[in-house]
Amino acid sequence: MIDFLQNNYWLPVLLLADTWLLWNRYGLYLRGVKQVDGEEAIRMVRERDAAVLDVREKREFAASHIPRSRNVPLSQFRRRLDSLEKYRGRPLVVSCRSGSRSARACIILKKNGFEEVYNLKGGVGSWVRSMRKFDD
């Protein structure tokens, strides 16, 4: 067995990398968090009165943000969770720059009983690109 591992040292690395990729791809789904792209998120806001929550830091939010989104930085998220109670019955689209921080915020929201939580796949950039399509 040791000889096999020495001769195929790359195999455990490959197995770990595959496991990591699968978890990143399906981990949110397994935790009950759905992902939406920019177009789906825009439709949800327009047709279902979804709220948009931006979890970037204040300076990032100040530089640019989705219109009418609410800023609760991930670094303060757990402390400010009570301020989100008014959104509990609405669909909630969570955004950040890339979709990574927002995914973590979505998991926290789900653990705290928020039912309809959506991670904006591709982050704010996805929203901006999709708005261009809607405007054309």
Contacts of 82 (CB under 8 A, 6+ apart): none
Query: How far apart are alpha carbons 132 and 136 in whole angstroms?
Result: 6
pTM of the model: 0.78
* pLDDT of res. 5: 61
Q: What is the DSSP string of 29-91?
A: HHTT-EEE-HHHHHHHHHHH--EEEE-S-HHHHHH---TT-EE--GGGTTTTGGGGGGGTTS-
User: For 18-44, what is the mean pLDDT?
Assistant: 74
Higher pLDDT, 29 or 7: 7
Q: Where are the domains of the chain?
A: 1-30, 32-135
Whether 106 is catalytic: no
Q: At the fourth CATH level, which superfamily is domain 32-135? A: Rhodanese-like domain (3.40.250.10)
pLDDT digits (tens, 9 = 90+) for 65-94: 999 999 999 999 999 999 999 999 999 999
* pLDDT of res. 29: 55
In the set 94, 96, 103, 107, the catalytic residue is 96
